[in-house]
Amino acid sequence: MARRKPVEMHVNHERWLVSYADFITLLFAFFVVMYSVSQVSENKHRQLSETLMEAFSPRSMKPIQVGELSRSPTTSVIELPFDEVRELVEAQNEGFDSLEQLSGIFTEEFGSLINDRLIQVYSNEFWLQIEVQDSILFASGSAEPSAQAQAIFARIADILQDREHPIQVEGHTDNVPINSVRFPSNWELSAARAAAMVKLLERGGVNAERLSAVGYGEHQPAASNDTAEGRAQNRRVALMIARARIERPSAQLPSQLESSVSDLVMDEGPAAGEALGTDETQPQENTIEAIELESGDLLFSSDPELPRNRSR
């Protein structure tokens, strides 16, 4: 019987590559999914948010009628008149809309000076701020408006004269001290420059009751005074146009209350005068006495009605 030849078994030493390839493929797929999840479409996100809000908002649900419908022709007390609500909202937003409109007008009117950074316009919901650099308004150390300043503020007055916004004109300087006969310090210089601009606005037709002038000197800098460029930015005049007028508090007694106090004194006679501390004809002397109580303690009092055991 012939002997069978031994079969040689071939060992594959590269089987690990299959597992490695599968692992790399899964890892690549994992990172692709993570990357795709991280990329959120803003439009799709907004559409999804609007859809969810519409679905869960109570306004989208139809009300269920319980009981019989009201036959009364009168309006329910919980219903708000739409016209009145709209007028209220428009009145509240009128000042803000007007400031936005003014901001657009000034930006368009002084576009070239804004590009040259000689005029800057800022606005928020309460104020519209217009800053004008003093290089086009005054000579150095002077409060006399230049011809260009008069032209600029004449145009500003034309824009503002038919409106009712309060206007506060603020003068600012750098920290370089000044000591002249007319201006002993930067306080006087900044206040005089603000007053000069107020006069130009009044001359242009702006109601003087809407105007005020304030001088801040060097104490409200817009930039650092350490450089020439910063000092140039600090030398400016700012127009603060308010959204609405704020009534100033009065220290005087209201006339109605004052008359009530006078009537009270007249009606009650001497008793009222004594209560108000106005009767000086009968001074009352209060003598403080030491009262010995039953417990042996001392009580110091000026009340004559208190019971006394023994006065000292």
Strand order in the sheet with 236-242: 119-123, 127-133, 236-242, 167-172, 211-217
Q: Say if 264 falls within a structural domain.
A: no
> Tokens for 183?
């201006």
Average pLDDT score, the chain? 75
Q: Say if 60 falls within a structural domain.
A: no
271-282 in b/e form (b: 16+ CB < 10 A) is ebeeeeeeeeee
pLDDT at 297: 64
Strand-strand pairing, 211-217 and 236-242: unpaired
CATH of the domain at 200: 3.30.1330.60
Q: Say if 200 falls within a structural domain.
A: yes
Reported as a pLDDT band with limits 50, 70 and 90, residue 279 is very low
Strand-strand pairing, 127-133 and 119-123: antiparallel
| Region of residue 248 (left: phi > 0; alpha: psi -120 to 50; beta: else) | beta
Residue 196 clears pLDDT 80, i.e. is over it: yes
Reported as a pLDDT band with limits 50, 70 and 90, residue 169 is very high
Q: What residue type is 167 in one-letter code?
A: I
Residue 204 clears pLDDT 60, i.e. is over it: yes
pLDDT at 243: 84
Q: What is the per-residue pLDDT across 28-85, written as a single tens digit (0 to 9) for each?
A: 988 888 877 776 666 666 776 777 676 665 544 455 555 555 454 444 444 445 555 4
Q: Which of 183, 208, 242 is the last residue of a domain?
A: 242
Q: Are residues 179 and 294 in the same domain?
A: no
Q: What residue type is 294 in one-letter code?
A: E
Burial of 221 (0-12, 13-18, 19+ CB in 10 A): middle
Q: Are residues 201 and 311 in the same domain?
A: no
Q: What is the C-alpha separation between 94 and 261, in angstroms, rounded?
A: 41
Reported as a pLDDT band with limits 50, 70 and 90, residue 277 is very low
Q: Which of 210, 242, 274 is the last residue of a domain?
A: 242
Residue 212 clears pLDDT 80, i.e. is over it: yes
Reported as a pLDDT band with limits 50, 70 and 90, residue 168 is very high
Given a contact cutoff of 8 angstroms between Cβ atoms, the answer to whether 143 and 193 are in contact is yes
Range of the domain at 113: 93-242
Q: Are residues 103 and 235 in the same domain?
A: yes
pLDDT at 126: 85
DSSP assignments along 178-213, one per residue: ---SS-SSHHHHHHHHHHHHHHHHHHTT--GGGEEE
Q: Are residues 298 and 177 in the same domain?
A: no
> Tokens for 72?
């009364």
Describe the chain by its helix, strand, coil percentages, rounded to 5.
45, 15, 40
Residue 179 clears pLDDT 50, i.e. is over it: yes
Between residues 90 and 6, which one has the greater pLDDT? 6
Lowest-confidence range among 74-83, 96-105, 239-248?
74-83
Q: Are residues 290 and 226 in the same domain?
A: no
Q: Say if 222 falls within a structural domain.
A: yes
Q: Say if 35 falls within a structural domain.
A: no
Q: What are phi and psi of 85, to 5 degrees?
A: -65, -40
Q: Say if 75 falls within a structural domain.
A: no
Q: Are residues 189 and 305 in the same domain?
A: no
Tell me the C-alpha to C-alpha distance, in Å, between residue 213 and each of 139, 188, 241: 20, 12, 12
Report the number of distinct structural domains present in the chain: 2
Q: Are residues 304 and 237 in the same domain?
A: no
Q: Say if 203 falls within a structural domain.
A: yes
Q: Are residues 218 and 300 in the same domain?
A: no
Q: Are residues 165 and 290 in the same domain?
A: no
Q: Say if 21 falls within a structural domain.
A: no
Q: Are residues 291 and 183 in the same domain?
A: no
Which residues touch 292 (CB under 8 Å, ≥6 apart)? 298, 299, 308, 309, 310, 312
Q: Are residues 114 and 237 in the same domain?
A: yes
Tell me the C-alpha to C-alpha distance, in Å, between residue 254 and each of 249, 267, 275: 11, 20, 21
Residue 94 clears pLDDT 80, i.e. is over it: no
Distance, CA of 118 to chain centre: 26
pLDDT at 294: 65
Of 195, 157, 189, the residue nearest 174 (C-alpha): 189
Q: Which of 190, 207, 242 is the last residue of a domain?
A: 242
Q: Are residues 175 and 293 in the same domain?
A: no
Given a contact cutoff of 8 angstroms between Cβ atoms, the answer to whether 194 and 214 are in contact is yes
